[in-house]
Chain A
C-alpha cells in the first residue's frame, strides 16, 4: 500500500475501500463508472466523454459533469437526497482529480491507478499533486443505496 500521507500532507484519517486497479480512474469513479479509464488522450483506445474537449481544463470537467446531471453548488456540505462531486484545481488552473461525497458526508477518491480511499473532507487531498478542492457540483441522488 502506498504511503499516501507523503503525497497528501493533510490526509488525516482515511480508509482503503478497494484494491488497486486500472479499470477506472477518479474522473470515472466520481460518477460511479467502474468500467472505464477516462482520459483526454489523443492516442486511440482511451475513453473520453463524447463531445468534450481533449484537455484537463476546469471548464471541460464542469461541462462533463453537467452532462451527468450535476450543477455547480456552493460547497461540500452534506445535503439529504443530494450527491456531490468536487473538482480539484491545480496550480496551473487545470484539473487532476475529482472526488465524490459519500452518504455519510465523507468523501471518496480513486487514487490514480491505485486503490479507492474514503477521506474525511475534500481538503484531505489538497496537495501539490491535486491542487485544492475548488468547484463543487451537486445533483439529486439517483441511487439511494450508494
Chain B
C-alpha cells in the first residue's frame, strides 16, 4: 500500500474512487515498458483516453484498478526499501560494506536493472541537499560492475555521486521525470 505521505497532491483532489485506487494499489503493478505494451493491455479507446488524461500525474487505471507506470512503480518500491534500510542498518558503522549488509539493501540490489534509475535519481536528490548516502555498492552490483568514479574522486562521496549521475545521463538511465511526483526524502 502506498503510504499517505507519498500520495501526490493531485490524487488527493481527485474523485474518491481514483484516490482510493491509488491508496490500495499494489506496489508491483502491471509492467509498462513501451507505448505498444500499453495499447495491448488497455485495448479500448476510452481507456487510452483515461491514460492520457491521467498522464500528467503519471498514473492510470484499467477497469478501475490503478496501474502505475513502471518507473513510478519501481521508484515506490525502491523508496520503501531505502526507508527501511535507513532504519534497520547497523547503527554507528563506518563500513559501507557493513551498512549494505542488510536485507533491505539487498532487496534493492535484487531489483537489478530496475534499481539503477532509482539509485541514480536518489543520488541526484541527495546531492542537491548535501552528502549522498551509500548507494555505490548497489550501483556497482546492479550495473554489473560499472566504475565511473575517477581515481582522484575516490572516497569523496559528493564527487562519486556526480560521476555516477554523469554516467547515468550518458547511458540514458536518469529520467528527469521519475521521483518528481513522489517525495524523495526518507
| Chain A residues within CB distance 8 Å of chain B | 2, 4, 7-8, 21-23, 25-28, 35-39, 41, 43-48, 56, 96-97, 110-114, 129-130
Contact = CB atoms under 8 A, between A and B. Distances in A.
B162 to A, nearest CB: 12
Nearest to A46: B155
Interface stretch (B16-24, B30-38, B95-103, B168-176): B95-103
B97 A110 contact: no
19 contacts: A22-B131, A36-B154, A36-B155, A39-B155, A41-B95, A41-B96, A43-B137, A43-B141, A44-B154, A45-B147, A45-B149, A45-B155, A45-B160, A46-B155, A47-B154, A48-B155, A110-B94, A112-B94, A129-B91
Interface in B43-84: none
Nearest to B132: A22
Nearest to B97: A41
A47 B163 CA distance: 15
A112 B99 contact: yes
Given A21-B130, A113-B99, A38 B92 contact: no
B131 to A, nearest CB: 5
B91 A22 contact: no
B134 interface: yes
B133 interface: yes
A3 to B, nearest CB: 9
Contacts of A28: 155
Given A113-B133, A113-B134, A46 B94 contact: no
